[in-house]
Amino acid sequence: MSDRLQSLIELYEKNPDDSFVAYGIALEYISKGNFDEAEKYLSNIISNDPDYLPAYMQLAHVKENLNKIEEAKDSYKKGIEVAKINGELKTASEMEEFLNGLE
């Protein structure tokens, strides 16, 4: 385990509600190709902090890498919905492009 990942996990253990730290952990796992662990952290972020928009796109990418295409589509769709509600139209548009690439 890298020092960076270990440091993030230690921070997360002190405050498991910190979406930013959990997202950092997920990105570290993605960079290592450990999509199963990344999926767990990203799913947890969305459950606990449903407005944390970056988690939706990363979760969809992770699901694609795990060949869970229908789940990836669902993640994009939910992310698009959240983005529009929060006025993040550029992010919604980006996710729509990725979604269209899957359909």
What domains, with CATH codes, occur in the chain? Answer: 3-102 (1.25.40.10)
Q: How far is CA 64 from CA 3, 9, 53, in A?
A: 28, 25, 18
Helix (H, G, I), strand (E, B) or coil at 92: helix
- Give the type of residue at 67: N
Global confidence as pTM:
0.91
Q: What gap in Å lies between CA 5 and CA 24, rounded to an integer?
A: 8
User: For every one of its 103 residues, what pLDDT tens digit does the chain have, with 9 covering 90 and above?
Assistant: 679 999 999 999 999 999 999 999 999 999 999 999 999 999 999 999 999 999 999 999 999 999 999 999 999 999 999 999 999 999 999 999 999 998 7
Taking phi over 0 as left and psi of -120 to 50 as alpha, with beta for the rest, 6 belongs to alpha
